[in-house]
Amino acid sequence: MTLSSTQARYVFSALYAAAALILVDQLGELLVSLHPFHPEAVQWRFGAYGLVLGRTTTLLIADVTVVLAALGLGHPRVVQAWGVVHLVLGAVLLLGLMGFVLDAVQLRRELAARTPGGVVVQAARALVIGLLAVVYCIWAAWAAIRGRGGPGQAAPKDSLLVVGR
């Protein structure tokens, strides 16, 4: 089955809308979960970063959806801007990860007394997910900056995304 140009534009536009819905939903739920805000409290910061990292995979789906929509609709500036967003987000995640590690060390004894063994495993998981998220953000920024040829650029022969051939 081949999509017409109008049908393809509709599908890719729907991807933008789906990504927006996912982003608004996940960020809204995160804000509600984090309220009331107490960034001065070590326990709050530790839990907040864990909650943020818990949303990583769902936000990754929205991220890929935005990129697919931008590529499908021929919006290279959106891809470039999204690359800049990834660069900033990677830096923020890295700073947050450093704070998370410091907070985990500070809370280690207190949390271990409440939930023996579980906190170490949860903190290790958050650390791994955080590191992978930083690597992903850096890679996505690099790929967006590297691939900024624009709509006139021919797709590589081994490209899996075929639009309008």
SS3 154: coil
Q: What percent of the chain has pLDDT over 70?
A: 86
Average of per-residue pLDDT across 12-26: 96
Q: Is the bond into 116 cis (omega within 30 degrees of 0)? A: no
Query: What residue segments make up the domains of the chain, in order of their start?
Result: 5-146
pTM for the structure as a whole: 0.81
Check residue 158 and give its pLDDT. 52
- Asked if residue 147 lies in contact with residue 78, where contact means CB atoms within 8 angstroms, the answer is no
- Asked if residue 48 lies in contact with residue 106, where contact means CB atoms within 8 angstroms, the answer is no
pLDDT tens digits, one per residue of 42-70: 999 999 999 999 999 999 999 999 999 99
